[in-house]
């Protein structure tokens, strides 16, 4: 499957075996498949189990083989295939596979379309990337954003042709006015001005490395269905078996009598416990007199009682995502989930074991919940937080301190950066704010760091303490390798700038000790000019400056 294109009949047989395994069917004993296979194979956040159908999975793995061919061009297997089938390089797999040709080559051909859909350019200097006809910003080609013909000279523009020498974007070189949103995305693309890096192709993932899940979604022919969010099901503090039961409840596919009758089975629709109403899912779990007495005995938290009149999906979601404590030890979401499971077991004992007098479900629910708690510990959502003191501290004598921050309104969203340099007495030395464009918070943090380092170099500061409230950004710069190709240019520039100081430190601090930089970064999101430098403290940060110099403590819960 990883190197060969499987026949469709083989893929269908694999899907059949997987379906039967999931629902416990075999050639000797057939069982009802309660949820359709197309729903089962959706991602978890779309209501599925995240399983794979065989054909798209095969294509996704063959796309990964294309990725390996592209990145392992100097290996023996890649040289052999490229020399025989693709003399123009791994991105030009256009030759039709022959029946006598390599099965690996036929597999590469099948996965090539998904591979091409999943890659994009990372702009470092912009000299290799077509401004209009390559995917390098946003989710589509810039040529698709505009209508009508392009002037002959502009049609062949490289990205570097729209960059002013110091790394700023110059849209006046275009005869066409791009939409303002598109301009915001372009402004946020960082161009190398210090470190010498070439443009490169990367996978469209968070870090630029190949992502099999992304390739699988591209290979699926059925469109993504925007169903109600369901990722909460798998975060409930309970056992995996009960999470699966909650997933069945989410799809209204628990085999209660009303559901079985609607699927053509000849079963009486009435509830086996009360013998009055039809046994629907909500009746079995909540509205049956037997279930009502159970929930009343359980002493529901006051804040959750109102939910017991909600529709079934809202009722389940409200209680399974609750952060309320049940008795000071157990979480309500855990007790609630075990309660649902015990009601289902109680109902099955009545039907299949013919036991009308059953043990108290309250006792068994609490027993299961306490046992689960003792084995796994406290629910992460209900952990106790402890306060710690946090405050800004001035640098050592003879040093300066740079605080920077980046802000993204939505992450991905309109972003700004800001920073401040102060001396060992807490006196303002310099500051700045920048409008970055439309990007992530990590990109904004790194852009702010670069601006702050440039400002410190212009002020001829030899010894510099640097503080940021983004641990991700600090780790990226301090690391010996660059683990994210989309951030390689900005991280490389920051490392080159750090080498210009005689001594420096770069460390992470909590947000509460970074208040001045935070104000400047948020101001950068709204300002109309690209960059503002402040030799004197602007009025809107004076209160935060005074607070930092007052030695008053803030407290942070961790």
Q: Are strands 503-508 and 463-468 parallel, antiparallel or unpaired?
A: parallel
Question: Which tokens in the block code for residue 38?
Answer: 């197309």
pLDDT at 40: 93
d(CA 365, CA 344): 12
Question: Which tokens in the block code for residue 37?
Answer: 């296979």
Give me the helices (H) in 289-423, please.
Answer: 289-297, 302-305, 312-320, 332-352, 361-376
Q: CA angle at residue 266 from 265 to 270, to 5 degrees?
A: 105
pLDDT, tens only, 286-322: 999 999 999 998 888 899 999 999 999 999 999 999 9
Q: CA angle at residue 137 from 135 to 143, to 5 degrees?
A: 55
d(CA 468, CA 144): 39
Tokens 């020498």 -> residue:
165
Does the pLDDT value for residue 216 go beyond 60? yes
C-alpha torsion sign, points 91, 94, 96, 101: negative
pLDDT at 222: 63
Ramachandran region, residue 260 (left: φ > 0; alpha: ψ -120 to 50; beta: rest): alpha
d(CA 31, CA 40): 16
pLDDT, tens only, 94-134: 666 666 678 888 888 899 999 999 999 999 989 999 999 99
CATH number of 390-557: 3.30.420.10
In the chain, where the domains are located: 8-117, 124-198, 238-378, 390-557
Question: Which tokens in the block code for residue 90?
Answer: 């791994």
Percent of the chain with pLDDT over 70: 95
pLDDT, tens only, 163-200: 987 778 999 999 989 999 999 999 999 998 888 889 99
Cβ-contact 190, 436 below 8 angstroms: no
d(CA 129, CA 189): 13
Cβ-contact 406, 363 below 8 angstroms: no
Question: Which tokens in the block code for residue 378?
Answer: 């406290």
Question: Which tokens in the block code for residue 70?
Answer: 């592209």
Closest-CA residue to 431 (of 531, 523, 524, 534): 534
d(CA 432, CA 424): 19
Widest distance between CA atoms in the chain:
87
pLDDT, tens only, 487-536: 999 999 999 999 999 999 999 999 999 999 999 999 999 999 999 999 99
Closest-CA residue to 376 (of 419, 443, 340, 329): 329
């Amino acid at each position: 499957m990883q190197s060969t294109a499987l026949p469709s009949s083989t893929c269908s047989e694999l899907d059949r075996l997987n379906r039967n395994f999931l629902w416990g069917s075999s050639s000797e004993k057939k069982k009802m498949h309660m949820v359709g296979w197309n729903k089962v194979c959706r991602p978890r956040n779309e209501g599925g189990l995240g399983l794979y159908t065989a054909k798209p999975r095969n294509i996704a793995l063959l796309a990964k083989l294309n990725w390996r061919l592209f990145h392992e061009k100097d290996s023996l297997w890649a040289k052999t295939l490229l020399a025989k089938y693709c003399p123009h390089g791994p991105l030009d797999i256009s030759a039709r596979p022959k029946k006598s040709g390599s099965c690996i080559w036929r597999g590469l051909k099948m996965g090539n379309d998904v591979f091409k859909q999943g890659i994009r350019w990372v702009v470092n200097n912009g000299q290799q990337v077509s401004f209009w006809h390559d995917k390098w910003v946003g989710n589509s080609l810039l040529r698709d954003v505009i209508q009508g013909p392009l002037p002959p000279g502009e049609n062949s523009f490289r990205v570097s042709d729209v960059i002013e020498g110091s790394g700023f974007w110059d849209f006046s070189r275009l005869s066409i006015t791009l939409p303002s949103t598109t301009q915001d995305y372009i402004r946020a693309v960082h161009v190398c001005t210090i470190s010498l890096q070439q443009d490169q192709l990367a996978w469209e993932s968070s870090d630029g490395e190949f992502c099999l899940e992304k390739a699988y979604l591209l290979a699926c022919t059925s469109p993504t269905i925007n169903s109600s969010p369901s990722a909460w099901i798998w975060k409930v503090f309970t056992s995996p078996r009960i999470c699966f039961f909650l997933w069945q409840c989410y799809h209204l596919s628990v085999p209660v009598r009303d559901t079985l009758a609607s699927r053509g089975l000849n079963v009486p629709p009435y509830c086996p416990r009360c013998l009055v109403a039809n046994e629907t899912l909500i009746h079995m779990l909540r509205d049956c007199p037997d279930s009502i007495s159970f929930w009343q005995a359980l002493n529901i938290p006051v804040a959750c009682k109102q939910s017991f009149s909600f529709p079934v999906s809202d009722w389940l979601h409200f209680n399974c995502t609750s952060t309320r404590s049940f008795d000071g030890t157990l979480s309500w979401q855990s007790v609630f989930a075990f309660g649902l499971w015990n009601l289902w077991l109680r109902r099955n004992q009545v039907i299949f074991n013919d036991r009308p007098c059953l043990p108290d479900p309250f006792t068994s629910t609490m027993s299961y919940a306490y046992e689960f708690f003792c084995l796994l510990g406290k629910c992460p959502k209900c952990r106790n937080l402890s306060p710690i003191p946090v405050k800004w501290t001035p640098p050592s004598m003879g040093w300066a301190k740079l605080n920077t921050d980046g802000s993204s309104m939505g992450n991905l969203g309109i972003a700004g950066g800001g920073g401040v340099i102060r001396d060992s007495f807490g006196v303002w030395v310099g500051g700045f704010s920048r409008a970055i464009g439309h990007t992530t918070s990590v990109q904004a943090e790194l852009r702010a760091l670069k601006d702050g380092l440039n400002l410190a170099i212009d002020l001829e500061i030899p010894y510099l303490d640097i503080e940021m409230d983004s641990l991700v950004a600090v780790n990226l710069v301090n690391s010996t390798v660059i683990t994210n190709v989309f951030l390689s240019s900005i991280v490389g520039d920051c490392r080159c700038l750090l080498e210009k100081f005689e001594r420096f430190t770069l460390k992470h601090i909590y947000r509460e000790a970074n208040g001045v930089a935070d104000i400047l970064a948020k101001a950068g999101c709204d300002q109309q000019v690209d960059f503002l430098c402040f030799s004197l403290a602007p009025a809107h940060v004076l209160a935060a400056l005074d607070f930092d110099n007052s030695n008053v403590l803030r407290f942070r819960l961790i």
